[in-house]
A and B are shown apart, each in its own frame.
Chain A
């Protein structure tokens, strides 16, 4: 167990967005976070990253409450890739990746050699070496997401949280990106919309609806026609092992 949410709740503007969620992320696993729009996926990710303070319950990192840790300590352990990152600053890919070294630096100094090593490895792991001098604003959507993942890797985290990283990407880039996430030796939590992608790439799935956990387990356990009907209100045909052993494939049926 690395990240552990214990009965976590969070409300905004009087509305309860996350409602008593308990979940554990096994070390090294890729956990998929599913649920319709407004089910609390993004909010739960922010709570897991310590970017919001829970109004009830607690998020634990190796048993220590996230709220009691210094922000910089958390950032050396947990990296976040947002849904869509935008900036007004004219940065190159390498400069974006180098942002990931900020939690490892003091106010005035840092270990420059370690920074360089981490940046190089992150560029290598995300296949961005050739694009390192490219301007952020000149990148395609897929390249921007990869640069953000490289930035996250430069933080040298053990936990990686991704909020719908495949949004706005074409099919090939969706597959490439999730394959990359899965390949990384990290504990990952990925919010996803696409149930088929979740079935292919995640070890475990959590389904949220109305801020509560509706189902939790392996893709085969979670992705049933009944659950899809309950949570998403659509009819679906599920082929067990359709995408490999233990990995169902889903076909939605027109009403």
Chain B
């Protein structure tokens, strides 16, 4: 009952956050008018506003806020999956270099001038994420496979892909492309459109469903792979499945919003404090917490220095690094 109440409360809070966030912005649009536009789009009568005002609400604020929610949920889930799977509380798509790999892939597509628009970008980001993830895991395995090695390998991978991206920019990008590249490196929800929301939302929902079906297996990884195997988990199969889901999810989100760091690192820990370590509750809780978190962080990023906009990745990093330090310190006390 307590879990159900918490879930319901979380969902309500998320809905409320989105409803409030879309009323905030540089353009002066009355709160009532914002909802009137949404009502109009849903066929509830004319809002009587200008085309521009309608566009700001329906084509800019709403998709952007929804994409923030979806990205926050998805990235947080990735962290909640990677942490038990790699037995490292610091695992997160950004720390492990998956996000940088995805950016490199996307930037490669931009610079190479391959056509195909969003599909080509997503494909590039997806390929980059898989390559980066494979490389980091291989490096971790070669260096002994310990849980700390994964993070070290992630650091190396991140550096490598940052360097490759920078190299690509310097060697072949023009000014316009360079601005596009910055977007991938720092993360931004500024380019959000309904297509992104639909794609990321679908992938996110599918990913969450698959991960939920493996929640018992994730619990079983608490004492390591052999312990999970002894509890009847097909370790190799489950790990491959979940790593691919994580890479796919990260790649999709990065291709829509760039590399937003630290959401996957911090939010699972916050959710664990709320609902405990069992993954059947933890995964939905993490998703909702991540969604609420990123909705507000993005709202802050686009309004704090109006009319200038901060890249959302900068804000998550500013909040995430102290949290990273706190988790490290807590871990130090434990051993």
Chain A residues within 8 Å of B, Cβ to Cβ: 46, 49-51, 70-76, 78-80, 82, 85-91, 95-96, 99-100, 102-103, 105, 107-108, 137, 148, 155
Closest chain B residue, CB of each to CB of A90: B277
- Chain A residues near B214: list those with CB within 8 A: 107
- Chain B residues near A107: list those with CB within 8 A: 213-214, 216
**12 chain-A/chain-B pairs, Cβ below 8 angstroms:** A49-B230, A71-B234, A72-B232, A82-B227, A85-B223, A87-B222, A88-B83, A89-B277, A99-B222, A102-B216, A102-B217, A103-B232
Q: Are A82 and B216 in contact (CB under 8 A)?
A: no
Q: Are A88 and B233 in contact (CB under 8 A)?
A: no
Cα distance A107–B229 when bound, in Å?
16
CB contact under 8 A between A102 and B231, given known A88-B88, A137-B334 = yes
Closest chain B residue, CB of each to CB of A81: B230
Interface size class on chain B is 20 to 34
- Chain B residues near A82: list those with CB within 8 A: 223-224, 226-227
Q: Are B230 and A51 in contact (CB under 8 A)?
A: yes
Q: Are B219 and A71 in contact (CB under 8 A)?
A: no
Pick from B147, B231, B234: contact of A88, CB under 8 Å: B147
Interface residues of B in 78-107 (CB under 8 A from A): 83-84, 87-89
**Per DSSP, are chain B's interface residues mostly helix, strand or loop, or mixed?**
helix
Q: Are B230 and A89 in contact (CB under 8 A)?
A: no
Cα distance A82–B231 when bound, in Å?
12
CB contact under 8 A between A80 and B230, given known A87-B222, A88-B147, A102-B219 = yes
Interface residues of B in 135-179 (CB under 8 A from A): 147
- Chain A residues near B229: list those with CB within 8 A: 49-51, 71
- Chain A residues near B83: list those with CB within 8 A: 88
Q: Are B220 and A102 in contact (CB under 8 A)?
A: yes
Contacts A72-B232, A155-B231 supplied; 20 other A-B pairs, CB < 8 Å: A49-B230, A73-B232, A76-B232, A80-B227, A87-B223, A88-B83, A88-B88, A88-B331, A89-B222, A90-B277, A91-B222, A95-B278, A96-B222, A99-B220, A99-B223, A100-B231, A102-B216, A102-B231, A107-B214, A148-B223
Cα distance A109–B94 when bound, in Å?
34
- Measured CB to CB, the closest approach of chain B to A121, in angstroms, equals 18
- Chain B residues near A148: list those with CB within 8 A: 223
Closest chain B residue, CB of each to CB of A137: B334
Q: Are B231 and A95 in contact (CB under 8 A)?
A: no
Q: Are A95 and B277 in contact (CB under 8 A)?
A: yes
- Measured CB to CB, the closest approach of chain A to B147, in angstroms, equals 7
Cα distance A148–B227 when bound, in Å?
10
- Chain A residues near B224: list those with CB within 8 A: 82, 85-87
Pick from A86, A105, A137: contact of B216, CB under 8 Å: A105
- Chain B residues near A46: list those with CB within 8 A: 226
- Measured CB to CB, the closest approach of chain A to B231, in angstroms, equals 5
- Measured CB to CB, the closest approach of chain B to A236, in angstroms, equals 33
- Measured CB to CB, the closest approach of chain A to B225, in angstroms, equals 9
Q: Are A89 and B231 in contact (CB under 8 A)?
A: no
CB contact under 8 A between A74 and B277, given known A46-B226, A85-B223, A90-B272 = no
Closest chain A residue, CB of each to CB of B231: A102
Closest chain B residue, CB of each to CB of A157: B230
Cα distance A124–B234 when bound, in Å?
30
- Chain A residues near B219: list those with CB within 8 A: 99, 102
Pick from A76, A86, A155: contact of B223, CB under 8 Å: A86
Q: Are B231 and A75 in contact (CB under 8 A)?
A: yes
Closest chain A residue, CB of each to CB of B220: A102
CB contact under 8 A between A91 and B277, given known A71-B233, A75-B231, A103-B231 = yes
- Chain A residues near B220: list those with CB within 8 A: 99, 102
- Chain A residues near B331: list those with CB within 8 A: 88
Q: Are B232 and A102 in contact (CB under 8 A)?
A: yes
- Chain A residues near B231: list those with CB within 8 A: 75, 99-100, 102-103, 155
Cα distance A82–B216 when bound, in Å?
20
- Chain B residues near A137: list those with CB within 8 A: 334
Q: Are A51 and B232 in contact (CB under 8 A)?
A: no
- Chain A residues near B88: list those with CB within 8 A: 88
